[in-house]
Amino acid sequence: MTKPSLLILPGDGIGPEVMTEVRKVIDWFFANRDLEFDIDEGLVGGAAYDAHGVPLHDDTMAKAQEVDAVLLGAVGGPKYDTLDFSLKPERGLLRLRKEMDLFANLRPAQCFDALADFSSLKKHVVAGLDIMIVRESTSGVYFGEPRGIFEEGNERVGINTQRYSESEIDRVARSAFELARRRNNKVCSMEKANVMESGILWREVVQKVHDEDYPDVELSHMYADAGAMQLCRWPKQFDVIVTDNLFGDLLSDAAAMLTGSLGMLPSATLGPIMANGRPKAMYEPVHGSAPDIAGQGKANPIACILSFAMALRYSFDRGEEATHLENAIESVLADGLRTPDLMGPEGGTPVSTAEMGDAILKALGN
């Protein structure tokens, strides 16, 4: 039987540091849980530009199309700010999403018990929080045409186009409803149907998909700005939130702070089902490349490690191992170990990136 395959793209900034800790975790599972992958590694973002002059080489793109899953660290950094837009590190990430057709970005926001006091919200508001934001990720304003900066009269104008087709909305809505059936059977769809035609279409298509194929799932609609307010007021009212590319980007970052830190949030971006019955998939932490702390051992590796846990669950059918890894992280946090982003007034034991990874390895062995 062919071994499952994984392409690792550490990227820029803290990406290589947090990915080093993920590799330790993978090695532990190889040694202790009869788990083995064919692993390849490549460059993306600024690292790819430095080596090849492009943010993603065609050979790396071809490998990403062939493997069972891609695990990415982070891209970007100030040294690339002056590059032409087409060469910026983020274009490598967007190319992966677009050409792999990864249309459903799953961003969980879960508050570990040990961090309930660390959130900027009151403990009773976030304790036990477990929501999932499903963000459409291959269309919308980030990809719509026309786009660019143009001369108009005696000044420049910047144009980005919000565009959605019925089929694009339909498929991400189905992903959200299917996911809800495995959770608490509740979906809230967020858009701006009050001021945007794309929002009107979004609401109509989501409602149609629900009425025809998922009437057992509770569906509600909410304007995205009101949704942001409600996430801060009482986030536990939600289970699965489905929304477009732009609003999903904003809402998931807002949800990140409910959990205490961007360094805690993983994500999975899923696409069409392949011949092996699994979806094309890329997994990555929600946080960026954090160039201000790169190389200092201050980065929190948990979001990237949790992204690997999502890969175990969604791409490799190893849910038991994913849960074991998540429980190990919960144990380490309960013991009070904290990377700098998690150090608050309540204190804790300060640890480096590598020390957090080693502690998780120790907890896996218990």
Instruction: Write the pLDDT tens digit of every residue in 226-249.
Output: 999 999 999 999 999 999 999 999
Instruction: Tell me which fold the domain 1-108+265-366 belongs to.
Output: Isopropylmalate Dehydrogenase (3.40.718)
Decide if pLDDT at 328 tops 80: yes
Helix (H), strand (E), coil (C) string for the chain: CCCCEEEEEEECCCHHHHHHHHHHHHHHHHHHCCCCCEEEECCCCHHHHHHHCCCCCHHHHHHHHHCCEEEEEECCCHHHCCCCHHHCHHHHHHHHHHHCCCCEEEEEEECCHHHCCCCCCCHHHHCCCEEEEEEECCCHHHCEEEEEEEEECCEEEEEEECCCCHHHHHHHHHHHHHHHHCCCCEEEEEECCCCCHHHHHHHHHHHHHHHHHCCCCEEEEEEHHHHHHHHHHCHHHCCEEEECHHHHHHHHHHHHHHCCCHHHCCCEEEEEECCCCCEEEEECCCCCCCCCCCCCCCCCCHHHHHHHHHHHHHCCCCHHHHHHHHHHHHHHHHCCEECHHHCECCECEECCHHHHHHHHHHHHCC
The CA radius of gyration of the chain, in Å to the nearest whole number, is: 20
C-alpha distances in Å from residue 27, one per residue of 244, 264, 272, 309: 37, 22, 29, 14
- Phi and psi (nearest 5°) for 158? -100, 130
Q: Between β-strands 5-11 and 38-41, what pairing exists: parallel, antiparallel or unpaired? A: parallel
Mean pLDDT of 159-174: 97
Distance CA 336, CA 232 (A): 26
Q: Which pLDDT value is given to residue 125? A: 87
**Proportion of the chain above pLDDT 70, given as a percent:** 99
Residue 240: strand pairing partners: 132, 187
Q: Which pLDDT value is given to residue 356? A: 97
Read off the pLDDT of residues 86-111 as tens digits, 9 standing for 90 and up: 999 999 998 999 899 999 999 998 88
Distance CA 143, CA 162 (A): 8
Distance CA 161, CA 108 (A): 28
253 part of the active site? yes
Query: Pick the catalytic residue: 12, 68, 244, 249?
Result: 249
* Reported CATH class of domain 130-258: alpha beta
Read off the pLDDT of residues 169-195 as tens digits, 9 standing for 90 and up: 999 999 999 999 989 999 999 999 999
Query: Pick the catalytic residue: 49, 68, 80, 192?
Result: 192
88 part of the active site? no
Decide if pLDDT at 17 tops 70: yes
Query: Is 126:231 a contact under the CB 8 Å cutoff?
Result: no
**Proportion of the chain above pLDDT 90, given as a percent:** 80
Decide if pLDDT at 220 tops 90: yes
Query: Pick the catalytic residue: 253, 335, 358, 362?
Result: 253
pLDDT band, very low/low/confident/very high, at 72 (cuts 50, 70, 90):
very high
Distance CA 18, CA 320 (A): 23
Decide if pLDDT at 277 tops 80: no
192 part of the active site? yes
Evaluated on CA atoms 198, 251, 305, 291, the torsion sign reads positive
Most confident of 113-127, 200-214, 337-351: 200-214
Find tokens 């929080």 and name the residue.
Answer: 129
Q: Which pLDDT value is given to residue 32? A: 94
Question: Which pair of tokens denotes residue 3?
Answer: 């071994």
pLDDT band, very low/low/confident/very high, at 254 (cuts 50, 70, 90):
confident
| Structural domain boundaries in the chain | 1-108+265-366, 130-258
- 69 closest CA partner among 32, 33, 22, 111: 22
Residue 151: strand pairing partners: 156
Query: Pick the catalytic residue: 225, 236, 335, 362?
Result: 225
236 part of the active site? no
First-to-last CA distance in the chain? 31
Query: Is 341:8 a contact under the CB 8 Å cutoff?
Result: no
